[in-house]
Structure 1
Amino acid sequence: MTTTPDEILDALDPDQRAVATRVAGPLAVLAGAGTGKTRAITYRIAYGAAVGAYDPSNVLAVTFTKRAAYEMRHRLAALGVPRAQAHTFHAAALRQLRYFWPTYIGGPVPDIVPHKASLVYAAGARLGIGVDKALVRDLAAEIEWSKVSLVDAAHYPERARSLGRQAPAGVSEQDMARLLDVYEEVKAERGVIDFEDVLTHMCGLLQERPEVASAVRAQYRHFVVDEFQDVNLLQHRLLDLWLGGRHDVCVVGDVAQTIYSFTGATPEFLTGFARRHPGAAVLELVRDYRSTPQIVSVANSLMALSRRASGTVRLVSQNDSGPAVAFRAHGDDRAEAEAVASRIRELLAEGVEASRIAVLIRMNSQSQILEEVLSSRQIPVAMTNSTPFFRREDVRSAVAALRAASIAPDEAASPLDQAVVDVLSPMGWSPEMPVGGAAQERWADLNAIIQWAQDSNADDLAGFVAELSDRAQYQVEPDQFGVELTTIHAAKGLEWDAVFVIGAAEGLLPISYAKTPEAREEERRLLYVAITRARRVLEISWARARSEGGRGSRRRSRLLDGIWPEEAPSPAAPPAHARKTTTRAANREFEETQSAQTIDLFARLRAWRLAESKARSVPPYAVFSDRTLRDIAIVAPKTLTQMRVISGVGQVKIDRHGPAVLAIVRGEEVVVDEDEPA
């Protein structure tokens, strides 16, 4: 597929277009949550290639997760630039290290230890430091911080004191410094390296071997770095060595989403980018396509109260008005969990899918009571599985069966999604999910593969198996089934229709050990991340006591001073006859604020959707939600490209319903074929 420059720019808003068209020289993009930063930078790469500004094979896009790299790579391929590389810092450095190591160091690259625990145990034993499981985890984290911050054993005590950083509990600064040395000795004796060594060794080769530096810089001449606020000193050093004094680099980030300072990440590289790269352009993405104006207003107000607001952007919602953000206080943790479960039941009854709802917590210890309450209400909760998806036995068997079927002579007889169903049905998949136990877990894994097949662009089973191999390489996990219950840190980069942020109390959010102003500001940014995960429904709550009947000694989080209403709404649910669904309220507001022409288009779209849903034997929201139909009516897209940017319209729905929707927008009558197979 080849995309023209005009087609690329037509799919972008003015801010994104400004990013895409600046294809040369240093560029920093300050991109707020939900503003389409990944879209902007992938289209920038595609536009630069389309106008001949550079060869895409000379571009290296750097991300922070393998999933982000996978998504960027596939977006670029869809835009006609499959040769542009997208990798994490570690993956890019490891590829280079494996190429140059045999020649300049000799032999293969040493094995990389997946976890530091055994090395830390051995180092602690040599020093006579008794370590348990919790201390091993803390020591491993401190070792990682020292390495990415380029702090060696000799300078650890001084550097830790200057930063106000404390060594793990029960370990002195001097003991920690000695442990750093012994850890390296143990590692050398075992002939292994850790993940940080991958970056350190590559930096060493680039510094000490001019021919290595020349080869890498000849290959990669243009760099794009996503999530630049999360870069640590070691990663920034590697980027500088890749550039070699050049300035063809575009960085993208959001200061307000810096939530990994404890690992060595710092937003200073983002805020100071223009000083390090003379003549750099600094652009902002502020149009929020994710959240309603009500949610964006709370997010903006939260960051406006920050003492360190430099570099943050003020979001402007591009969505219709939604329900007010709810602020709720409860007597105890169980009452809070019960109230959240009641609201989730209401949302499920309104047609919101369980997988589009999330409950965000600050600490994993908060999850137990929520799991109990949700389970008692028979609300499906996303299952956690410590085994990576593609290493699970039932997934491995399914992929093997699909691979075998892909070479069968009659494999092209059915459409792709049906062919996958035919292969996986004998292995435990059925249209109805079994309840509980191993059968449900197996079904969920197989169903994830089937959903991928439904969204796949592959022509046949062989192409789909290749897609699965690609997903396995990048460790792309499927979307969870059920209500997501996760920490705020793990929620970064994700989004849901409805989000419940619980535990907004002192000691939980901000966390009790956030003693310094810097630590409390990080907690503010963490709350900002939680708030901006929500598309339409956001509820923030706290409980005065931990247990029922306990002394209500907790205080509401100071982070919400000036935002929390003077009188919080009562946690008691209103009587059934007084409740109004979110959908009805939104439709009523839509009718009151939009033009007669827009309202008429919405009515015609709903009539078509009803006929389509009956013909396909699916509920109406499975075609398009009311929210999406309202957005289509407001935007009135003229092309599939314009339709694609509307929330809730993916490629599968573009292929299935796009032409019909555009015809309705044009005023044409669309007749649904009731004989068409569902």
Structure 2
Amino acid sequence: MSTPDEILRGLDPEQRRAATALQGPVCILAGAGTGKTRAITHRIAYGVASGVFDPHRTLALTFTARAAAEMRTRLRDLGVAGVQARTFHSAALRQLQYFWPQAVGGPMPSLIENKVRLLTEVAQGMRMSVDRAGLRDLAGEIEWAKVSLHAPEGYAEAARGREMPAGWDATTVARLYTGYEEAKTARNMIDFEDVLLILVGILSTEPRIAATIRDQYRVFLVDEYQDVSPLQHRLLDLWLGDRGDLCVVGDASQTIYSFTGATSRFLTDFRERHPDATVVELVRDYRSSPQVVEAANRLLADRTKAGQRDRTMPRWPDPLELVSQRPNGPDPVFAECTDDEAEAGWVADRIRALIDDGVAASEIAVLFRTNGQSQAFETALSSAGIGYQLRGGERFFSRREVRDGILQLRAAARAAQDLTGDDVPDRVRDVLASLGYSAQPPAATGAARERWESLHALVNLAEQLAGSRGAEFTLTELVAELDERAQHQHAPTVQGVTLASLHSAKGLEWDAVFLVGLSEGLMPISFAETQAEVDEERRLLYVGITRAREHLSLTWTLSRGTGGRSTRRPSRFLWAIDPTLGGTREHAPARGSAPGAAKPRRRGATVATCRTCGKPLETGAERKVGRCLDCPATYDEAVLEQLRDWRSRTAAEMKMPAFVVFTDATLVAIAEAMPASPKELLAVPGLGRTKLEKHGEALLELLHGTPTA
């Protein structure tokens, strides 16, 4: 292991201060690209090398398996072994499995990995007609309630003012929540939130077990502290007890998961809870060019100035002002396109130009607000012969060629145990050649190119590890690294342009980033109506901007489809980044804020009656349209025919059956209700947030000629 002085070598003054602050509560406010992972891993390594930290009694907590795996890799590269780097859920599950026999007894309940199947049964028992997208929204709402420490009996009160999934009222969602909890208990099952809740209960009531864990872990470090939920924070407090051996790292300006129960208040209030805390600010941005950093700073400063002018606006913590440490780069590019297809074509042309100029495809990303926006870019990149990977698709280690490659590398490691250093990547190439790998990518696109890119990622990883771990690195160590990465889904880089939502891009970075679809209604999203919700959208765009190292493009369209009316407006956030675009923010008011806007209609599950004859509705189809099926229709037949034509076109584009887009009953419900805003669309049964994001704008344009706020 390196000496303490060697570990600190190469850190900037702020990083060094963070790394050497080993006693008492420590709060590291780390802006995007400021080297926070480097600072905290060096802090752990320095503490171990100095004898202050016992690595076996140190627990580093983060929010994704990928981030935990990255932390473990960096600690190994620093020569530190024994430190536990885990997600909250992974650490809690491990402890619960160990202490269950002592605290509860008997076999531990089985773990539910997906709530939707059980929720489907509960909803059917309640005679709720909910499609799969709506059930996913309901599952998310239950997760929010549990991590926010709201039990079923208190949910309706706690959820007052929240948008309810699929148009259901809070009382009905509370009944579903209750039924879900009862079904789990009856089947001796728990979900991931229960893991934390049960462990909190055990540590609160079993002093001996709590003392055992506090003796095991003396030092805690929490990454992405702005994303902790009340439940996670309660567990952290119980782990700590009355000790102050806590270091937290975060940035309130990157809080983008509030809808899941995450809150930055624990970060912003840290100094109030710990008056003696050491606070270090990391503002030197090593990732992005000055031009990219200036765009990000302007976006946040615009909201800070607005809050100073209007003191009634929600609290907005003063953001960190980043200072780029990189050479000058190109100015951000702003592109206004006529429609979605033109936007995708423009982006594909720019990507081709970047690749021709030497930028690797894996160093380029197209980021969008909703997953439904990806299709146009997939088509445009395929037409241009540019490989891509859709983040959130099939997991890397689940691909057949990857599984076969690891099996063959494992066999090769047993046969060549003396192979070390730079010979390891050469042997990897030889082994993978039997699976079709070659030094040059195939000319073909599609499956053949994806297969090559997967194998090439394994070769790249071997080269990186051989370079970082030196002459003693072995093929056996490579296989062990791959096994650990597979366990934690820490995939190596795949060659290909990344298509991803802004939320899934958190924690990643690329040389070139295209932020697309920056129109009002998509950024900020149409259902962001309160100032707090719009603030979160601003932070989401900030995260997107700060993913770019050098090249940044921001695009928007004037209409959805070719030849459509130019009803879209550029996002209000663009004026903050570059006021010379023209226009003023007053031309882009918050969607849904028009005076006299209709309130969304709510429909419960137990009082549904026919709007025509008043009789109780018995079937799901009747409840969906709001009348008996044999009562006269109250919709315009021409509107329904337009909706059916639109559904057929959409289903053909998405290559899926028409009923998957919307059922006939949902189309009738839309025609009956004639919703005029995103909130009113959300109130239509069968139309949850997922489908609203994907199809809402098109429906409003079809029904009213223009997307209505």
Alignment TM-score, normalising by the size of structure 1: 0.81
Contact 1:327 1:565 in 2 (8 A): no
- The 5 A counterparts of 1:139-288 are 139-161=138-160, 164-288=161-285
Aligned to 1:378: 385
Aligned to 2:668: none
CA deviation after TM superposition for structure 1 residue 389, in Å: 2.3
| Aligned mates of 2:6, 2:518 — CA distance in 1 | 45
Aligned to 1:429: 437
| Aligned mates of 2:398, 2:339 — CA distance in 1 | 40
Contact 1:35 1:287 in 2 (8 A): yes
CA deviations on 1:240-289 (whole Å, 9 max, x unpaired) are: 00001211101000111000000000000000111112311221100000
The letter for the 1-side match of 2:567 is S
Contact 1:329 1:568 in 2 (8 A): no
Aligned to 2:457: 448
Structure 2 vs 1, CA of residues 385 and 222 (structure 1 numbering), >3 Å: closer, same or farther? Answer: closer
Structure 2 vs 1, CA of residues 329 and 440 (structure 1 numbering), >3 Å: closer, same or farther? Answer: closer
| Aligned mates of 1:444, 1:110 — CA distance in 2 | 40
Aligned to 1:610: none
CA deviation after TM superposition for structure 1 residue 158, in Å: 0.9
The letter for the 2-side match of 1:17 is R
The letter for the 2-side match of 1:555 is R
Contact 1:383 1:481 in 2 (8 A): no
| Aligned mates of 1:59, 1:450 — CA distance in 2 | 33
| Aligned mates of 2:10, 2:417 — CA distance in 1 | 40
| Aligned mates of 2:66, 2:257 — CA distance in 1 | 18
Of 504, 521, 526, the match for 2:518: 504
CA deviation after TM superposition for structure 1 residue 410, in Å: 7.7
Aligned to 1:318: 325
Aligned to 2:302: 305
CA deviation after TM superposition for structure 1 residue 333, in Å: 1.8
Aligned to 1:368: 375
The letter for the 2-side match of 1:234 is L
CA deviations on 1:333-372 (whole Å, 9 max, x unpaired) are: 2222222222212211111111111111111121111222
Contact 2:390 2:499 in 1 (8 A): no
Contact 1:336 1:541 in 2 (8 A): yes
**Count of residues in correspondence between the two structures:** 566
Matched residue of 2:97: which SS?
helix
| Aligned mates of 1:334, 1:86 — CA distance in 2 | 44
| Aligned mates of 2:182, 2:417 — CA distance in 1 | 59
Stretch moving more, 364-373 or 378-387 = 378-387
Q: Which runs of 5+ in 2 are unaligned?
A: 308-314, 584-709
Of 448, 464, 475, the match for 2:478: 464
Contact 1:98 1:108 in 2 (8 A): no
CA deviation after TM superposition for structure 1 residue 111, in Å: 2.0
Q: Percent identity?
A: 53
Contact 2:130 2:166 in 1 (8 A): no
| Aligned mates of 1:546, 1:314 — CA distance in 2 | 36
| Aligned mates of 1:113, 1:385 — CA distance in 2 | 21
The letter for the 2-side match of 1:310 is P
Structure 2 vs 1, CA of residues 436 and 323 (structure 1 numbering), >3 Å: closer, same or farther? Answer: closer
| Aligned mates of 1:429, 1:512 — CA distance in 2 | 46
Matched residue of 2:106: which SS?
coil
Contact 1:411 1:419 in 2 (8 A): no
CA deviation after TM superposition for structure 1 residue 374, in Å: 1.8
| Aligned mates of 2:474, 2:361 — CA distance in 1 | 31
Of 412, 416, 437, the match for 1:405: 412
Aligned to 2:551: 537
- The 5 A counterparts of 1:646-665 are none
Matched residue of 1:323: which SS?
coil
Contact 1:503 1:543 in 2 (8 A): yes
| Aligned mates of 1:115, 1:39 — CA distance in 2 | 35
- The 5 A counterparts of 1:481-500 are 481-500=495-514
Structure 2 vs 1, CA of residues 339 and 217 (structure 1 numbering), >3 Å: closer, same or farther? Answer: same
| Aligned mates of 1:494, 1:133 — CA distance in 2 | 30
| Aligned mates of 1:200, 1:567 — CA distance in 2 | 50
The letter for the 1-side match of 2:351 is I
Aligned to 2:698: none
CA deviations on 1:609-647 (whole Å, 9 max, x unpaired) are: xxxxxxxxxxxxxxxxxxxxxxxxxxxxxxxxxxxxxxx
Determine whether 1:56 maps to 2:64.
no
Aligned to 1:3: 2
Aligned to 1:39: 38
Stretch moving more, 483-492 or 370-379 = 370-379
| Aligned mates of 1:485, 1:438 — CA distance in 2 | 17
The letter for the 1-side match of 2:434 is P
Contact 2:391 2:500 in 1 (8 A): no
The letter for the 2-side match of 1:300 is N
Matched residue of 1:72: which SS?
helix
Contact 1:100 1:212 in 2 (8 A): yes
CA deviation after TM superposition for structure 1 residue 477, in Å: 1.4
The letter for the 1-side match of 2:516 is I
| Aligned mates of 1:508, 1:194 — CA distance in 2 | 33
Of 507, 511, 533, the match for 1:519: 533
Contact 1:327 1:564 in 2 (8 A): no
CA deviations on 1:557-585 (whole Å, 9 max, x unpaired) are: 1122343343479xxxxxxxxxxxxxxxx
The letter for the 2-side match of 1:205 is I
| Aligned mates of 2:289, 2:348 — CA distance in 1 | 23
CA deviation after TM superposition for structure 1 residue 384, in Å: 5.7
Matched residue of 1:91: which SS?
helix
Aligned to 2:346: 339
CA deviation after TM superposition for structure 1 residue 459, in Å: 2.7
Aligned to 1:327: 334
Contact 1:30 1:311 in 2 (8 A): no
CA deviation after TM superposition for structure 1 residue 151, in Å: 0.4
| Aligned mates of 1:357, 1:443 — CA distance in 2 | 18
Matched residue of 1:561: which SS?
helix
Aligned to 1:15: 14
The letter for the 2-side match of 1:185 is E
- The 5 A counterparts of 1:124-143 are 124-143=123-142
Of 553, 564, 581, the match for 1:550: 564
Stretch moving more, 75-84 or 254-263 = 75-84
Contact 2:254 2:542 in 1 (8 A): yes
Alignment TM-score, normalising by the size of structure 2: 0.77
Contact 2:396 2:402 in 1 (8 A): yes
Contact 1:300 1:314 in 2 (8 A): yes
Contact 1:271 1:311 in 2 (8 A): no
Matched residue of 1:412: which SS?
coil
CA deviations on 1:384-420 (whole Å, 9 max, x unpaired) are: 6743222333322222222222222687399111212
CA deviation after TM superposition for structure 1 residue 383, in Å: 5.2
Aligned to 1:395: 402
Aligned to 1:116: 115
The letter for the 1-side match of 2:423 is P
Contact 1:294 1:323 in 2 (8 A): yes
Matched residue of 2:517: which SS?
coil
Matched residue of 1:128: which SS?
coil
